[in-house]
Chains A and B, each alone.
Chain A
Amino acid sequence: MSDIDSQDDSNMSADDAEKPSKDGHIGEQSVSGPGGTPKTSLLEARDPDAFDKPTLITTRSRLAKDFRFRVMCILTACASVLILVFLLGSILGAGIPTLSWTLLTGTPEPEPENAGMWPALMGTLWVCTMCALITLPLGIGTAILIEEFTPRNRIARQVLALIQLNITNLAGVPSVVYGILGLTAFVSMFSLFDNSDNADGPSMEVGAVYYDQFSNVASDPFIDTGDTEAEERYFLFPVETRDAPSTVPKTGMLAYENSEGGLKEVEIIAIDPFADDAPTDADALSRTIDSTSDPGRISEKQWYYLRLPFGRGVVAGALTLMLVILPVIIISTQESLRAVPGTLRAGALGLGATPWQVVWNVTLPSAIPGIMTGSILAMSRAIGETAPILIIAGIVYIRSAPQHLMDDYTVMPLQIYNWTSRPQEEFHNIAAGGIVILLAILLTFNAVAVLIRHRMQNKLN
C-alpha cells in the first residue's frame, strides 16, 4: 500500500505542477480573446490572488475525489475477489475430499457413498455439445446479417432494427420462461403432431424396432408352477409398427431372447394356465408363455433415432438452452464485428472482393477472438442452467447415459440441486464434489476456447 501511496503522491505533485498553468492559460484565454494575444493588462491576468488560489483548491478537491474513487474501486475489486476466493475455497474444501472414481463414473444411488454422476455428466455433455452445434452457426449468422448486410431498402432496415430490439430484450428474459416456451415449442411442438391414441407417442419416427415382450410363466409371481423350478425368462416377438395388434403366442413360434451376446432365437410353448397344465420339465417350463397374458410393447432405438414431436429428449433440451443463450451470442458477435476496423472491409472491397469474400476472409477471422469470448460466456451459462432443464426434462434419477438424440437425460446442475435438497449431510458433501467436477468441466471448456482464441489472434498478428 505504501508504494501505491507514494506513487499517488508523486502523480499528484506532477498534476499540481501541470494543471494550474493549464487552467491559468484557459482563464487567460477567456479574458484575452482569440489568438492568445493579451489585450487587457498582464498584471490582471497574472495576479495569483485572482486565479491560482481558487483553481488550486478545486484541483485539490478533484484529486482527492479521484483518489477516493480509486480506493473505492480497489476495495470493491478486492471484495469481489475475496468473496470468490472464499466460495471457491469452501467448495473445494468440502468437495475435494469427496471426489472419487465412483462419483465420476457411478450412477446415482440412494446410498451417498455409492452415488455417482456419470449419467448427469454425459447428459450435460450431450446437451451442451448439441446446443453449441446448433447455436453457434445460428447466432453468428444472425449477427453477420444484421451487421454486415445492412439492406438499402428502408422497410427491410426497419425490420432488422425491430429484430435487433427484440434480441436485446430477449437477452434479459429469465431462463425459466424459456423453459416453458421450450416445453410447448420443442417437447410437444404445439401439439401439431399429436397422436389420437397416445399423448406421449410420436407421430413420425425413424430408427425404432418394436417388440412384444412376454414373460414366461415362471417369472409371473401370480401363477403356480408346481414343484418344478424354472428360471425367469423373457421373450420378444418383433412387430411391424408401434400400433400393430398384440402378438398371440402359439406353441412352436420362434421368439428372441435377450442375453449377454445379443438376441438369440428360442422356440416357445404357449399354454392357457386356466385350462392346461404347465410342463413339468424345467427347460420346457422356462420356455412356456401364458397365452392369455398381455404382452408389453417395447422398442429398441438405433443411435440415429428421430421422432416428431421431439419429446423430452436431448434435442429438446439443447434447443431450449439455445433459446437461452442465442441472444447473448448474437449480441457479443455483433460487438466484435463492430470492433473490426472499417478500413479492413473497405480495403477488401476496393480490391474487388464480394461482400461474402469480405465477411469470410477479412471480417470474421479478425472478429473470431471476440466471438469466442462471447461464446465461452454463453456456453458456461448453458452448462450451469437448471431451471429450463428441470421444466422440460424433469428427470433427476436415471442410470444410463443418453444413447440417441431423443433419449431421456439429466444434467449435472439438476443432480447437484437434488443432492443438496436431501436431508442427509453426506449428500450435501457429494454435491460439493459434483460442483467441483462441474467447475472442472467448465474450466476445460473455457481453456479450449481460450486456446482457440489465442491461436486466431497470433495468426492475425
Chain B
Amino acid sequence: MLKSTTLCLVATLILNISAFSVSAQNTGLLGKVAIDGSSTVYPISEAAASGFQKQYPNVKVSVGVSGTGGGFKRFTVGDTDISDASRPIKDSEFKAARESGINFFELPVAYDGLTLVAQKNNTWLNNLTIDEIKKIFLAGSAAKTWAEVREGWPNEQIRIFAPGTDSGTFDYFKEVVVGKTGGSLRSDMSTSEDDNVLVTGVSGTPNSIGFFGVAYYEENKDKLKSISIVNPKTGDSVSPTSQTIENGTYAPFSRPLFIYVNADSFKRPEMRKFVGYYLQNAAKLSSSSGYVALPTAIYKEAMMHCRKGKTGTHYLTSDLEKRSGPVTEIYQESNLVK
C-alpha cells in the first residue's frame, strides 16, 4: 500500500524536497563524506559541501583537487565516497572499479562551456569554424600566421595560451579538435595550469588566442572577448552564453561535468542526504560557481538513478567503447553499462 503511493509521489516529492530541507540545523546526523577529483568541478562541490554543512554541522565533508584522473584512481579502490570529474569515466578506470567491486552512480551536475578568447580590442577575430580551429591548433597543419587561417586576416604570428596538458580542459579540447584521428595539438603553445595566467597572457598579447572554462571568461569580460564558434550543423556562429550552452547550440565546446558516487557509501544516511542535497541544488550551485545548469529533466533522471539504485556509466558501450554526444541524448537508462 505504502509502496504504490511512494512510487506515485516520487515526482512531486522531488520537487518538494528543497522546500522541506530548508529547515533548521540538524545536529543529529553524524558522519563523513570524502570527495576528491577535478579542480573544475571543485567549486560546485565546495558550494554543495558548504551549504550542506550549514544544515548538518556534524557531517564532515572534505573536498580534494587531485584532478579527474587522480580522483578516479582513489575512487576506484574505494578510497573516496564521491569523485568529481570534468569528463566521463575512461574504460581503464571503469575496469579498475569493476576489479575492486566498486559500483557507482554517474550523476551529471552542470555544463561547462569551453571558451575561446582573444584580446578585448581585437577587431577582426570574431568567429571561427571548426576547420579554422583545426588549422590553428593541430600539430601537423599548424598555421604560422593569421593570414593562413582566413584570407584578409593580418599577416601576424599566432600566439596561443592553453591550459596544462594534465588538465581535463586540455583533454576535452584535444578530443574535440583532434577527434579520433590520433593526432596531437601543436607543442609551441604557452601552457599554464593556472587559468589566471592564461587570462593575463591573452589580454596582454596582441594577435593571441586562448581557451579555458567559461567561468574564467565571465570573470574577465572587461579584459577579454569571446570568439563565437560556427556550429558545424547549422552554420550559425554562436557565442558562449548560458543559453546557448544549455540548449546545445554552442557546439561542440560545451561539456557536462559529473560527480561519481560510490554505491556502497550511498547506503549511509549522511551520504544519501548529501547527494540528495547536491542534486536538488545543483542548478543553483553550478550557476553561482560560474557554470551552466543542466536541463531539469537531467537532474530528475539523476535522482531516479540514485533512488532506483541504477549504477554504471552511460559513456561506455558494453564493449567498453567510448560513447559521445550531447548529455541529453546519452544520459538515459537504456545506455547504462554496469
User: What is the interface of chain A, defined by CB distance below 8 A to chain B?
Assistant: 107-110, 198-200, 211, 213-215, 219-224, 232-234, 236, 257-260, 273-274, 277-278, 294-298, 300, 393-400, 408, 418, 420-425, 428
* Cα A222 to Cα B3 with chains together (Å): 10
Are B78 and A198 in touch, CB under 8 angstroms? yes
Are B270 and A296 in touch, CB under 8 angstroms? yes
Contacts of B53 in A (CB 8 A): 399
Are B3 and A274 in touch, CB under 8 angstroms? yes
Are A298 and B268 in touch, CB under 8 angstroms? yes
- What does the 1/0 interface line of B272-297 toward A look like (CB < 8 Å)? 11001000000000001110000000
**If A278-B2, A297-B268, A396-B65 touch, does A234 touch B28 (CB 8 Å cutoff)?**
yes
Can you list 18 A-B contacts with CB-CB less than 8 angstroms, sorted by A residue number? A108-B46, A199-B79, A219-B273, A224-B6, A277-B2, A296-B268, A298-B270, A394-B65, A395-B36, A397-B45, A397-B49, A399-B50, A408-B34, A408-B62, A418-B42, A418-B65, A423-B220, A425-B219
Q: Is B32 an interface residue (CB 8 A)?
A: yes
- In the complex formed, the residue of B with least CB distance to A272 is B2
Contacts of A278 in B (CB 8 A): 2
CB distance from A461 to the nearest CB of B (A): 51
Contacts of B2 in A (CB 8 A): 223-224, 273-274, 277-278
Contacts of B30 in A (CB 8 A): 211, 213, 234, 236, 258, 298, 300
Are A399 and B61 in touch, CB under 8 angstroms? yes
Q: Which 3 A-B pairs have the closest CB atoms?
A: A296-B268, A397-B63, A394-B64
* Cα A166 to Cα B329 with chains together (Å): 59
Are A213 and B26 in touch, CB under 8 angstroms? no
Are A213 and B196 in touch, CB under 8 angstroms? no
* Cα A399 to Cα B51 with chains together (Å): 12
- In the complex formed, the residue of A with least CB distance to B32 is A298
Partner of B60, one of A213, A294, A396, A398: A398
* Cα A297 to Cα B30 with chains together (Å): 10
- In the complex formed, the residue of A with least CB distance to B199 is A423
Are A259 and B27 in touch, CB under 8 angstroms? yes
Q: Is B176 an interface residue (CB 8 A)?
A: no
Contacts of A298 in B (CB 8 A): 30-32, 268, 270
CB distance from B148 to the nearest CB of A (A): 32
- In the complex formed, the residue of A with least CB distance to B217 is A423
Tell me the chain B residues, 29-70 only, with Cβ under 8 Å from chain A: 29-32, 34, 36, 39, 42-43, 45-47, 49-50, 53, 58, 60-66, 70
CB distance from A397 to the nearest CB of B (A): 4
- In the complex formed, the residue of B with least CB distance to A426 is B219
* Cα A273 to Cα B1 with chains together (Å): 9
| Interface size, B (range) | 35 or more
* Cα A221 to Cα B63 with chains together (Å): 25
Are B270 and A222 in touch, CB under 8 angstroms? no
Are B100 and A199 in touch, CB under 8 angstroms? yes
* Cα A278 to Cα B6 with chains together (Å): 13
Are B23 and A232 in touch, CB under 8 angstroms? yes
Are A110 and B23 in touch, CB under 8 angstroms? no
Q: A108-B50, A298-B30 are in contact. List 6 more A-B contacts (CB 8 A).
A: A215-B273, A221-B276, A222-B307, A259-B28, A418-B65, A423-B215
- In the complex formed, the residue of A with least CB distance to B214 is A423
Partner of B269, one of A213, A257, A396: A213
Contacts of A274 in B (CB 8 A): 2-3
* Cα A298 to Cα B30 with chains together (Å): 8
* Cα A257 to Cα B5 with chains together (Å): 30
CB distance from B276 to the nearest CB of A (A): 6
Contacts of B28 in A (CB 8 A): 232-234, 257-259
Contacts of A397 in B (CB 8 A): 42, 45-46, 49-50, 61-64
- In the complex formed, the residue of A with least CB distance to B265 is A296
Are B271 and A296 in touch, CB under 8 angstroms? yes
**If A198-B78, A277-B1, A422-B43 touch, does A110 touch B62 (CB 8 Å cutoff)?**
no
Contacts of B1 in A (CB 8 A): 277
CB distance from A127 to the nearest CB of B (A): 15
Are B60 and A399 in touch, CB under 8 angstroms? yes
Are B267 and A234 in touch, CB under 8 angstroms? no
Q: Is B77 an interface residue (CB 8 A)?
A: yes
Q: Is B216 an interface residue (CB 8 A)?
A: yes
* Cα A100 to Cα B43 with chains together (Å): 23
Are A222 and B196 in touch, CB under 8 angstroms? no
Are A224 and B5 in touch, CB under 8 angstroms? yes
Contacts of B319 in A (CB 8 A): none
Which of B9-17, B85-93, B248-256 sits within the interface? B9-17
- In the complex formed, the residue of B with least CB distance to A299 is B32
Are B290 and A234 in touch, CB under 8 angstroms? no
CB distance from A406 to the nearest CB of B (A): 13
- In the complex formed, the residue of A with least CB distance to B60 is A400
**If A199-B78, A224-B5, A398-B60 touch, does A232 touch B26 (CB 8 Å cutoff)?**
yes
CB distance from A95 to the nearest CB of B (A): 17
Q: Is B218 an interface residue (CB 8 A)?
A: yes
CB distance from B97 to the nearest CB of A (A): 12
* Cα A421 to Cα B67 with chains together (Å): 14
Most buried by B among A108, A277, A399: A399
- In the complex formed, the residue of A with least CB distance to B76 is A199
* Cα A8 to Cα B334 with chains together (Å): 89
Are A199 and B77 in touch, CB under 8 angstroms? yes
Are B216 and A423 in touch, CB under 8 angstroms? yes
Are A421 and B196 in touch, CB under 8 angstroms? yes
Contacts of A421 in B (CB 8 A): 39, 193-196
Are B65 and A223 in touch, CB under 8 angstroms? no
CB distance from B19 to the nearest CB of A (A): 11
* Cα A110 to Cα B45 with chains together (Å): 10
* Cα A152 to Cα B14 with chains together (Å): 80
CB distance from A445 to the nearest CB of B (A): 27
